[in-house]
Structure 1
Amino acid sequence: MTPTARRAAVLGSPIAHSLSPVLHRAAYARLGLADWSYGRREVDEAGLAAFVEGLDGSWAGLSLTMPLKRAVIPLLDGISGTARAVNAVNTLVFEADGTRHGENTDVPGLAAALRERGVHEVAAAAVLGGGATAGSSLAALAGLVRGPIALYARTPAKVAEFAALAEHFKLTLDPRPWSRAGEAAEHELVVNTTPAGVADELAERLPEQVGTLFDVIYHPWPTPLAAAWERRGGVVLGGRDLLLHQAVTQVELMTGVRGRGGEILEAMRAALAARDDA
């Protein structure tokens, strides 16, 4: 590699399905970063520390997906306030002095995707799930939801983990049992963060009128819930919307290039379209 070459990659397990390389490489091409490369690496929790410790100075950053968003935190030298509050890091940036800084771009990415679709403020919302992405979703909704957020988690004990997050972002949470998840669709905005298949049962229980659904899964797509929601005439956002918007912020953080987010987003969308048409 040349002295100016920089590396980045997405880590996770499983990782073969990740579209992050498509997005980041498209961004590098648009920004003229010819010496930058971006790959994908299969890394689980047990192997994360050794992988990070083995990286040399050519590395600019890492994207982190499941199950690494919380496992990476002890390996960091610094962490943003948002990432600390949601207890999840999806972006590791190697600073010029070699220190490791953790960020969460899912939070601004989710909010940006909603704003792009015209969702700037709602009276109340519902979140399905109790994992790391649910926490990021709650944080993203802090500036969009005027009233309470109904939280439907399959494991009630996980709701308690969001108490500090709610206090930090000044949220009013309304915990509800999963057995009542069918009520979620009555809200103006619903964010589904559960794994593939979990919310399928809700597809047959939708009211005639629905608002906006953000289903963060991007494979397989559309989910039964998203398809049913569209048939009802509601607005649907998917995992690709989140992936795109959070990746723009990741590129900015890793490369240090600011003020070209619109260009980056356009390049990423074009790359996805080309991949779909291939």
Structure 2
Amino acid sequence: MAGAAPRMTVRAAVLGSPVAHSLSPVLHRAAYAALGLDDWTYTAVECAEDGLAPFLAGLDASWAGLSLTMPLKRVALDLAAEVSELAVAVGGANTLVRRDGRWHADNTDVHGIVAALTEAGLGAPASALVLGGGATAASAFAALARLGLAKARLAVRSPERAAASLAAAERVGLAVDVATLDRVPELLDVDLVVSTLPGRAADAFAAPVAASRAALFDVVYAPWPTALAAAVAGAGRTVVGGFPMLLHQAVRQVTLMTGRTDVPVAAMRAAGETELARRA
């Protein structure tokens, strides 16, 4: 009796520059293992903005999906055959999924933020202040709108450079009051502070945020905790780090790429936490 034909390897990857630090391979591979998807692979590929188009052109039918990090989230909108309404609204796509031979662009960062805040008991803030006006701020605005806010505050170094995120806020129906970062201490009468600032850029705001009543969502996940997160936690208030957002956006990506809805969140969380502990 002839043996069964070998199954074709199904490929997925995370693309960006730099990308070597990405936790996505650990999360996606943990999901594949728990789901028994032994024929699925997930790798990390260094790819600059001008390299995405030729990379996509060179992929064969074995490729099911791609996770995108900076600087690829905006250019992906121009390269996809179809773009979700959410990705259009946010102004960036972190996910490309092949459907009927065509690339479909979507955004799972918003889902990641909503899920991370909700599981921490912060799913219904009455007011919020966002620090930093880059691409992650645009996703944060969309998430806050989904959580019911009609208005938020934004503090940035240069209001002129926040035009893209402010346009995204307008598209999702969120009114935003803009101020410069030096005014943060005056803006902290809010339920939630969302820091989208990279690395140690938010360290200077640790004391005033800790002295306020606000809970904190800090998108940084390594090194953790940040000075800001440690100060707010030390003041006894709820702190959500970047890892839960990363986890939940990856969970949504696994569903989009594989079609599976029984995604093993616990297994992915454990794998990610183990890897972060190893890197610390």
The correspondence of residues 155-234 of structure 1 with structure 2, limited to 5 A, is 155-234=158-237
Give runs of aligned pairs for residues 27-66 of structure 1, distance below 5 A: 27-66=31-70
CA–CA distance in structure 1, aligned partners of residues 153 and 276 of structure 2: 36
The 5 A counterparts of 1:257-276 are: 257-258=260-261, 260-261=262-263, 264-276=264-276
8 Å contact kept, 1:209–1:232:
no
Partner Cα separation in structure 2 for residue 10 and residue 67 of structure 1: 12
- Alignment equivalent of 2:98, drawn from 94, 98, 104: 94
Matched position secondary structure for 2:72: coil
Match of residue 112 from structure 2? 109
1:20 aligns with 2:24: yes
Q: 1:143 aligns with which of 123, 143, 146?
A: 146
How much is the aligned-residue C-alpha RMSD, in angstroms? 1.8
CA distance in 2, matches of 1:201, 1:2: 57
CA distance, structure 2, for counterparts of residue 21 and residue 2 of structure 1? 24
The residue that corresponds to 2:14 in the other structure is: 10
Which segments of structure 1 move beyond 4 Å, counting only runs of 4 or more? none
Name the % identity: 51
Query: What letter is aligned with 2:270?
Result: A
Say if 1:270 and 1:207 are closer, same or farther in 2 by CA, change over 3 A: closer
How many residues in Structure 1 have an aligned counterpart in Structure 2?
274
Tell me, in whole angstroms, the C-alpha distance in 2 between the residues paired with 1:174 and 1:113: 24
Question: Structure 1 pair 146/72, CA: closer, same or farther in 2 (3 Å)?
Answer: closer
Indicate if the aligned counterparts of 1:209 and 1:234 stay in contact, CA closer than 8 A. no
> Are 1:253 and 2:256 an aligned pair?
yes
Q: Distance in 1 between matches of 2:193 and 2:19?
A: 27
Q: Which amino acid aligns with 1:206?
A: V
- 1:198, CA displacement in angstroms? 1.4
The structural deviation recorded for 1:10 is: 0.5
Shift of 1:190: 0.9
**CA distance, structure 2, for counterparts of residue 21 and residue 184 of structure 1:** 38
Please list every run of 5 or more consecutive structure 1 residues that lacks an aligned counterpart in the other structure. none
- Assess if the C-alpha contact under 8 Å between 1:124 and 1:188 holds in 2: yes
* Larger mean Cα displacement after TM superposition, 142-151 or 7-16: 142-151
Answer whether contact 2:28 2:254 (CA < 8 A) is retained.
Answer: yes
SS of residue in 2 equivalent to 1:187: coil
